[in-house]
């Protein structure tokens, strides 16, 4: 059953169906690798990247698990199949033969770690932090690091407009989606503006569809919201798990929305009420996604 309490008046675009059997503590960051036709996602606390095959019925068959010596806040894939993973304080790079090496330390602090991240339209890895406050959003291109924000409550979901000229980013703690101009060619980043303020639930991960609408997972609300380019909520997907964490279009035609969820912070009573929490779900909402960007493969010097 849907668990949302605050968005019932938003038109429904469907109810998500169960896609996996395994429950994760904090699954996040689904990524569609169209070259290898696989879906990747992370279980952050266990430091694991999962790789699965999307079946025609919307279920996902897990085929491989890649373990990293740290937390795994996000994953991105290069054209060659190499992976970049956001660890606790540094990035990790996994070659196609399975070798893993660590990049230089980029942040510090016992209570701080990297969180959500994605490649920008030119393949540079943009990633944010989670911690006690004053959190950062940064762009990493090999050894070149550009701090975009340094005053966030919790840096989270990232999404670009279909032409790459507008960049959306979420501050979960403050329940905001920010937007700014973004020139992927020159790397120029515009002034931050408020795109959407939420009163209920916490915006988490997000993605963009082919019509330039955002799909935002609402932590605590058991739904994913579709938001127009003007910031208006126009549709919702119900998920039978309160902590929806991220969404990403997948499949050869990008018609299937893959949704991750978590059991983190749920009480025993909440878990009994929502026993499918922590699993992945899929839905076909009737629109296609925008093709995800590939990481450019530029690694850092050894740690």
229 in Cβ contact with 223 (< 8 Å)? no
**Beta strand residue intervals within 97-175, DSSP E:** 100-105, 113-119, 125-141, 144-160, 166-171
Of the residues 116, 204, 209, 238, only one is catalytic, namely 204
Identify the CA nearest to 132 among candidates 104, 156, 113, 105. 113
Supply the pLDDT for residue 303. Answer: 55
Supply the pLDDT for residue 96. Answer: 96
**For residue 43, how many C-alpha atoms fall within 13 Å in the half-sphere facing its CB?**
17
Strand 233-238 with 12-15, pairing: parallel
293 CB neighbour count, 10 Å cutoff? 19
Supply the pLDDT for residue 5. Answer: 72
Q: CA angle 14-18-22, nearest 5°?
A: 150
Supply the pLDDT for residue 3. Answer: 63
Mean pLDDT over 216-236 rounds to 98
9 in active site: no
pTM, to two decimals: 0.97
Tell me the pLDDT tens digit for each residue of 163-209. 999 999 999 999 999 999 999 999 999 999 999 999 999 999 999 99
Helix (H, G, I), strand (E, B) or coil at 100: strand
Which strand ranges, in their side-by-side order, compose the sheet holding 113-119?
Answer: 113-119, 125-141, 144-160, 166-171, 176-181, 193-197
Distance of CA 20 to the CA centre of its chain: 18
Would the pLDDT of 31 be above 70?
Answer: yes
Tell me the pLDDT tens digit for each residue of 109-160. 999 999 999 999 999 999 999 999 999 999 999 999 999 999 999 999 999 9
């Amino acid at each position: 059953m849907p668990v949302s309490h605050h968005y019932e008046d938003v038109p429904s675009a469907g109810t998500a169906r169960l896609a996996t059997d395994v429950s994760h503590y904090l699954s996040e960051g689904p990524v569609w690798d169209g070259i290898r036709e696989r879906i990747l996602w992370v279980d952050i606390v266990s430091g694991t990247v999962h790789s699965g095959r999307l079946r025609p019925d919307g279920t996902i068959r897990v085929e491989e698990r890649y373990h990293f010596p740290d937390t795994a806040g996000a994953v991105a894939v290069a054209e060659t199949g190499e992976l970049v993973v956001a660890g606790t304080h540094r990035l990790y790079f996994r070659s196609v033969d399975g070798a893993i090496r660590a990049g230089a330390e980029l942040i510090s602090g016992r209570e701080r770690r990297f969180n959500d991240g994605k490649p920008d339209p030119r393949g540079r890895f943009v990633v944010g932090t989670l911690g006690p406050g004053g959190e950062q959003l940064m762009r990493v291109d090999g050894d070149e690091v550009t701090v975009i924000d340094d005053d966030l409550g919790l840096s989270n979901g990232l999404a670009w407009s279909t032409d790459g000229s507008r960049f959306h980013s979420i501050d979960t703690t403050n329940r905001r989606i920010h937007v700014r101009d973004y020139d992927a060619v020159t790397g120029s980043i515009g002034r931050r503006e408020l795109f959407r303020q939420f009163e209920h639930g916490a915006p988490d991960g997000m993605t963009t569809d082919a019509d330039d609408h955002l799909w935002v997972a609402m932590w605590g609300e058991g739904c994913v919201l579709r938001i127009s380019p003007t910031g208006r909520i126009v549709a919702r997907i119900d998920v039978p798990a309160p902590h929806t964490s991220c969404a990403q279009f997948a499949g050869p035609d990008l018609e299937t929305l893959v949704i991750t969820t978590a059991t983190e912070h749920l009480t025993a009573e909440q878990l009994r009420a929502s026993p499918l929490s922590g699993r992945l779900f899929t839905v076909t909402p009737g629109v296609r996604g925008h093709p995800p960007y590939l990481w450019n493969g530029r690694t850092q010097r050894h740690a």
